[in-house]
Amino acid sequence: DPYSSDPVRHPALRINSLKPFNAEPPPEILSDSYITPSAIFFKRNHLPVPQVDPDSYQLRVEGLSEGVLMLSLKDLKTKFKKHTITATLQCAGNRRSEMNKVKQVKGLNWGIAAISNATWSGARLRDVLMDAGYYPDVSQWARHVQFEGLDKDVTGTTYGASIPLNKAISEDGDVLLAYEMNGEDLPADHGYPVRVIVPGTVGARNVKWLGKIIVSAEESHSHWQQNDYKGFSPGTDWDTVDFKSAPAIQELPIQSAITMPADGAVVDRSDEEVTIKGYAWSGGGREVVRVDVSVDGGKTWQVAQLRSSEKEQAPAPSPPPGQAWAWKLWEVTAPLPQEAQELEIVCKAVDNSYNMQPDTVSPIWNLRGVLSNAWHRVKVKVRE
């Protein structure tokens, strides 16, 4: 069993698939902490977790003028300045289960918690590329930076993905070769000893157990870059889809969801009000500037209180424009509408480009169930 050396996992995780391991935390735990504890951070593996010996680990960097550069874990930690960022990772398939209700899609049936937020520390990819001989003329022929994981399938094929070279090399891009998560060594499930963190970019490009970096004229040839993680029209189905016709997902669209109360929960009329909590995030470093919440299915709205640090009392300063990599947690207390026996609670977020979420799922349905970001709705009963 290639999965026999997979690590032990937190029992609270909701398992989507055991081999490979895919799991998300219960939503109400997710919004308990601004920084998601690593043990309950969602886990998305396509393959068995590789066991990597930190002493013999070598990262291979190729495609630049210095030829091949090999870096040990110690080299990464000592030759390059250590940077720390707080960044949210979201799987392209987060909230896929809502698309499944409209019409069946292919993929893991994620709820609303294939998203989590952590601090990441490591060397800047930019600094490593500079050390490997990057010079501005490289961008005349190179367009992409490819990453290969050390996790393999039975045929020896490794996980792989790529990002645009300009994101990789930009000073403001904050792409890290991370060796720490939440102040500790990366856990096995999250890419020990080194993973790429591409803030603002879909989870799939944040390659774990990083083995190789290739500066290239072409995108990664991997299945996951070429024939997966792409968006299509609701009118496209498996008999008509041409994966070459759509770009690979990189930056993700605006997103928000309600973590509390849960769908089907019951509130007491005598409480007179209901407290609603959730998360909101946008890709590409766009900052969430507002979350609107309704308890009557979208007829009337209230603005939620946003939180961007562990404690509301100590708000974090706003990040520079284009570098809002971390989510916001939000909360609002709404009076119970008189006589309603059931509430339809709805949330929608707005980012600083005034991007907003679509109101329903049908117009954004796609065969792979990715980019599922319609207004999130939960129904709650009122007990008299």
| Chain residues that interact with ligand MTE, rule: CB under 6 A | 41-47, 89, 91, 149, 151, 159, 189-190, 203-204, 206-209
The residue from 71, 145, 204, 370 that contacts Mo ion (CB under 5 A) is: 204
Which partner in ligand MTE, Mo ion, none is near 43 (CB below 5 to 8 A by kind)?
ligand MTE
Give the DSSP letter of residue 201.
B
| CA 306 – CA 350 distance, rounded (Å) | 12
Residue 96 backbone dihedrals phi, psi, to 5 degrees? -60, -30
Locate 175 and state its tokens: 């792409």
- Any contact of residue 328 with Mo ion (CB under 5 A)? no
Q: Which is nearer to Mo ion, 204 or 364 (CB)?
A: 204
Q: What does 45 bind: ligand MTE, Mo ion, none (CB cut-off 5 to 8 Å by kind)?
A: ligand MTE
The full DSSP string for 131-155 is HTT--GGGGGT--EEEEEEEEE-TT
SS3 for 224? helix
Q: For ligand MTE, which is the closer residue by CB, 191 or 261?
A: 191
Residue 44 in contact with Mo ion, rule: CB under 5 A: yes
Rounded to a whole number of angstroms, the minimum distance from the CB of residue 81 to ligand MTE is: 24
Nearer of residues 167 and 208 to ligand MTE, judged by Cβ: 208
Cβ proximity to ligand MTE, 188 vs 378, nearer residue? 188
Decide if residue 43 touches Mo ion (CB under 5 A): no
71 or 336: whose CB is closer to ligand MTE?
Answer: 71
Query: Does residue 91 touch Mo ion according to CB under 5 A?
Result: yes
H or E stretch at 215: strand 210-216
Asked if 317 and 367 count as a contact pair (C-beta separation under 8 A), the reply is no
Residue 117: closest CA among 235, 204, 199, 6: 199
- Residue 246 burial (CB count, 10 A): 15
Footprint of Mo ion (CB under 5 A)? 44, 91, 203-204
